[in-house]
Amino acid sequence: MSNNKEKIEVKNLTASSNVTAEKAVAPAFAAKIDSCTLITSIQKDLLRAHDFAMSQDRSTTFVLSDFNLQLKAVVTQEGEKTMLALPTKQGDLDPNTMSTLNLTLRPVPLTVKPVTGTRPVESIEGIGSVLGGRLRDIGIADVSDLALASPEDLVKLRIPLTKANEFISMAKLMVKSNIAGVEGVDEQVAELLVVAAKIDSKEKLAQTSPEELTAILSDAIETGKVKVPKTFNLTVEDSTRWVASAKTLVDRTRASTQ
């Protein structure tokens, strides 16, 4: 049995039965389910896990190991359906009448296309529709805007200072994760790119001129817009390496999703 649409395939279903007579089932005490419904139910649970992986805003391949399940049930027939009678409590079914069923479900790995669009402020835990609307009223529409906001901007909306700093920190982490994997970009550089150059994705970095990027970042450092260690040294060669690495990653992602 296979399900191409959901990218989940059933590897095998085997049963060894001693007694399959309908009289072995006590309808008042045993739950009955047809085999297709059982498998579909398990598939849906696996797909929920898969959908969770797909909802993550980063490029990833979601791979589950084989899901193995062993059941003890009485195998019966109702019309054209093969039914499994499962005990709901001890003593429901005579153990001597029960079959052993081994079920293996194998999820097919899927490459997830990374999300490159803007994410609303409601993506931040603790920000609901009401607060999100108030933030949009002052020009903070998405996570990138929030990452660049000051705590004072949020305090004006009667958000406690501690919570304002928390929201901004979470937004910065989400934006920085979009740049993760670029060669030479550590926590300090990611902060610099996000705050000074407003670069919140590999795609934006890949389209940036290394010379212009160096000028923007250098100005931000000199004016104190972004604090960096005294030993931090920025060169055009650094910017060139970041941009080239971003281009490589973007091209690789596009090739894998075509």
Break the chain into its structural domains and give their ranges: 2-112, 115-176, 178-258
Of the candidates 166, 165, 194, 167, the one whose C-alpha atom is nearest the C-alpha of residue 180 is: 194
Q: Are 214 and 240 a contacting pair, CB within 8 Å?
A: no
Residue 218 has a pLDDT of 94
What is the spatial order of strands in the sheet that 30-34 belongs to?
Answer: 2-3, 8-16, 99-107, 67-78, 81-87, 30-34
pLDDT of residue 20: 38
171 contacts 134 by C-beta, under 8 angstroms:
no
pLDDT at 80 over 90: no
pLDDT of 16 strictly over 90? no
Other Cβ atoms within 10 Å of 62 Cβ, number: 16
What does the mean pLDDT of the chain come to? 76
Note if the pTM is more than 0.75: no
Q: Is the pLDDT of residue 15 over 50?
A: no
Torsions phi, psi of 223, nearest 5? -85, -5
pLDDT at 53 over 60: no
Q: Looking at the predicted structure, is the pLDDT value of residue 61 above 50?
A: no
- CATH homologous superfamily of 115-176 equals 5' to 3' exonuclease, C-terminal subdomain (1.10.150.20)
What tokens does 85 get? 């009678």
Q: What is the mean pLDDT of residues 138-165?
A: 92
The owner of tokens 């994760």 is 177
> Is the pLDDT assigned to residue 24 strictly greater than 90?
no
Give the mean model confidence (pLDDT) for residues 14-21.
38
Segment 86-96, tens digit of pLDDT: 776 666 667 77
CB atoms within 10 A of CB 257: 11
**Tokens for 133?**
């609307």
Q: How many residues does the chain have?
A: 258
Residue pointed to by tokens 């395939």: 9
154 confidence band (pLDDT: 50, 70, 90) = very high
186 pLDDT band, cuts 50/70/90, is confident
How sure is the predictor about 125, in pLDDT bands with cuts at 50, 70 and 90? confident
- Judged by DSSP in three states, 47 sits in helix
Residue for token pair 């005990």: 87
Q: What pLDDT, on the 0 to 100 scale, is given for residue 174?
A: 82
